[in-house]
Amino acid sequence: MPSVSRIVVITHGRADVEDALERVERLAGERGIEVVEESPDLAVVLGGDGTMLRSLKRFLGTGVPVMGVNFGRVGFLASMERDDLESGLGKAFSGDFEVVDLPTLEAEVGGERYPAVNDVLAVSGALGRMIELRWAIAGEDLGSVPCDGLIASTPSGSTAYNLSNGGPVLVWGLDAMAVTFVAPHSLHARPLVVPRSRDLEVTNLTGHVPVALLVDGHQIGELGEGDSVRVGLADQVSLLATLPESTFFQRYRDTFAS
């Protein structure tokens, strides 16, 4: 079982977590666990999925797993609700948790590389203007699609913007990315699930309309006409700590099927 002697607590910064923060610190003190800012054994997040994703990215490559207590609206990535804080974190502090390896993406554009825990978006840079994107997988041209944009998402990101655009949900454990168009003006632009080592290349074919590139919700640049971005599964994984009873399918049922 994992050993926990040091934790870091991350919040979404709103007043509704102040009491929860005190509860976490009190529980940690009772267990002889130190609350630190650097080199923790476990990161405890008090927030929603946005705070969870930022925390997963913060600890990418460090070997620190991230466990969430839901203080957001959906909380799909969280292991417990706020009322279950003591019982859930009590188990985690005793080492009774599992760590799920979640694939990440890497976007390469203009000689720079950007890691993505959630998704990479190529969307119209002009409000209300359609764009035309050419796309290819593993070097094989799949044609061009008039659309509002394209989403490449990880399994953890597949239940976010990808899902709301009709893309597939990727079950944790799949080493793949989902590729989904946003409002395609085509009957043939269907989502794809793409395995590792099959990189996606997206090229802007639109004259006078730039394509904005966003990684995990933050714009990293634009594609002018003829410019391309390459997206593929990265070597690093993000580490999601979860209670044994808080499985993917239990979360899926409670969040989306009820």
| Residue 22 belongs to domain with CATH number | 3.40.50.10330
Candidates 47, 45, 38, 35; CA nearest to 7 is: 35
Instruction: Tell whether 1 is covered by a domain.
Output: no
Round to whole Å and give the CA distance between 190 and 171.
Answer: 19
Same domain, 198 and 250: no
For 23, other C-beta atoms within 10 Å of its C-beta total: 17
Give the DSSP H/E element, type plus range, for residue 7: strand 6-11
User: CA dist 112 to 33, 108, 115, 136, 139, Å?
Assistant: 40, 6, 10, 20, 20
Q: Are residues 140 and 226 in the same domain?
A: yes
**For the chain, what is the radius of gyration of the CA atoms?**
20
Q: Which residue has the tokens 């969280």?
A: 78
In the DSSP assignment, the letter for residue 184 is: -
> What is the spatial distance between Cα 56 and Cα 52, in angstroms, rounded to a whole number?
6
Structurally, the chain folds into a number of domains equal to 2
Residues 239, 236: Cα–Cα separation, whole Å? 10
Looking at the fold, whether 180 and 229 belong to one and the same domain comes out as yes
In sequence order, which ranges of the chain are alpha helices (DSSP H)? 18-30, 49-58, 85-93, 161-164, 248-256
Q: Is residue 248 part of a domain?
A: yes
Would you state the pLDDT for residue 258?
A: 63
Clarify whether residues 66 and 167 are in a common domain: no
Tokens of 226: 């003829």
% of the chain exceeding 70 in pLDDT: 99
List the structure tokens of 33: 């666990």
User: Does residue 186 sit in the same domain as residue 204?
Assistant: yes
Please, what are the averages of pLDDT over each run of 10 residues along the chain (258 residues)? 90 86 96 95 95 94 96 90 95 95 97 96 93 97 97 95 95 97 92 97 95 96 97 97 93 83
Within this chain, do residues 111 and 222 fall inside the same structural domain, yes or no? yes
162 and 58 together in one domain: no
In a domain, 74, yes or no: yes
Structure tokens at 123: 């969307």
Is residue 58 domain-shared with residue 93, that is, in the same domain?
yes
Q: List residues with catalytic annotation.
A: 49
Predicted structure pTM score: 0.91
Closest CA to 122 of 105, 101, 139: 105
- Same-domain pairing of 157 and 76: no
**Residue 50, domain member (yes or no):** yes
Is residue 128 domain-shared with residue 188, that is, in the same domain?
A: yes
33 plus 121 within the same structural domain: no
CA 9 – CA 83 distance, rounded (Å): 17
Say if 47 falls within a structural domain.
Answer: yes
With respect to residue 35, please indicate whether it lies within any of the assigned structural domains.
yes
Most distant CA pair in the chain, distance: 63
Token pair 């978006």 is found at 121
SS (H, E, C) 74-102: CCCCCCEEHHHHHHHHHHHHCCCCEEEEE
Task: Dig out the tokens for 63 from the structure.
Answer: 């070997």
Q: Give the span between the Cα atoms of 165 and 140, in whole angstroms.
A: 24
Would 26 be classed as within a structural domain?
yes
Q: Is residue 21 part of a domain?
A: yes
Q: What is the residue range of 117's domain?
A: 104-235
CATH of the domain at 131: 2.60.200.30
The answer to whether residues 110 and 187 belong to one domain is: yes
